[in-house]
Amino acid sequence: MTAVPSPFSVAGKRVLVTGASSGLGRATAIALAANGAVVVACGRDRERLDATRSAMAGDGHALALGDLTTDEAMDATVEVAGKVDGVVHCAGISVPTPLRLAKREYVEAVMRTNYIAPMMLTQRLLAKSRVAKGGSILFLASSAAFRGVAGTAIYGASKGALVAAVRSVALETAKHGIRVNCLAPDLVETPLIETSGTLQGSGDWLEMQRKLHPLGLGKPEDVANSAMFFLSDASRWITGTTLLMDGGIIF
């Protein structure tokens, strides 16, 4: 009997992953490669990007080095990516800052990195018809777009902008069969998680957060696995939506 290909498979798909040099982007790139995808890994740090590549299984992967807040890096990334079946926008910054202390430079840096860069990179990919018919574009938002946390007014706004944008972009790309969605994870145990508790001033902050999440805090692999679902053909009827991943947090 001939085996029927699984609709959940990403094998053979070419996927551009930004922010692949660390955190969720790195986990996503490694997971995609382990499941047979060809990955174009994009990041700002050459050493860490090379480390990601070394951890990726398979051949044919490509690296795109550059800061996506610049036009030059975006243009270069589009050229390295070529024709892709999927895009996962993981590049972003999160520096908790109370609004009363926020400077214009900080606000602009967060919006430039978390919203403008992924939007304009997507614009370039679409304008050059670099996303294949039936492809999938996935933005990494955050639960901060839905619930208030002290010190995240600007960060949450940048992620909320992504959530709002995908609903419109999904309509624009539907005629080409291209899906556009968001993942919105809550706290995930990455090396940067401690910065999320800076404003709390307590060494018990992280343990308290674990207790507030009935399923515990997330792992990078949890986000990577969800990303693969949205990149696979199993999600062919889902677009313009946001998947909230919060471990059942108690508000």
Give the residue from 125, 24, 110 showing the smallest Cα distance to 69.
Answer: 110
Is 115 one of the catalytic residues?
Answer: no
The alpha carbon of 149 is separated from its chain's Cα centroid by a whole number of angstroms, namely 21
Q: Give the model confidence (pLDDT) of 21-47 as tens digits.
A: 999 999 999 999 999 999 999 999 999
Instruction: Tell me if 148 is assigned to some domain.
Output: yes
Instruction: Tell me if 99 is assigned to some domain.
Output: yes
Instruction: Tell me if 44 is assigned to some domain.
Output: yes
The 3-state DSSP class for residue 65 equals: strand
Instruction: Tell me if 112 is assigned to some domain.
Output: yes
Catalytic one of 22, 24, 121, 155: 155
Look up the pTM and report it: 0.94
Q: For the residues of 81-94, what is the DSSP string, one character each?
A: H-SEEEEEE-----
Instruction: Tell me if 184 is assigned to some domain.
Output: yes
Q: Give the model confidence (pLDDT) of 136-151 as tens digits.
A: 999 999 999 998 888 9
CATH number at residue 107: 3.40.50.720
Instruction: Tell me if 2 is assigned to some domain.
Output: no
At 202 the pLDDT is 52
Q: Give the model confidence (pLDDT) of 194-210 as tens digits.
A: 555 544 545 577 788 88
| Domain count of the fold of the chain | 1
Instruction: Tell me if 125 is assigned to some domain.
Output: yes
The 3-state DSSP class for residue 139 equals: strand
Q: What confidence tier does 192 reach under pLDDT thresholds 50, 70, 90?
A: low
Mean pLDDT, the chain, rounded, equals: 93
Instruction: Tell me if 199 is assigned to some domain.
Output: no
Report the C-alpha gap between 242 and 143 in whole angstroms: 10
Report the C-alpha gap between 61 and 63 in whole angstroms: 7
Exposure string of 56-75, with b = 16+ CB inside 10 Å and e = fewer, is beeeebebbbbebbeeebbe
Please say if the pLDDT value at position 180 is more than 70. Answer: yes
The residues with which 43 forms a beta bridge, in sequence order, are: 65
Which residue segment(s) compose the domain that 45 sits in? 14-188+221-240
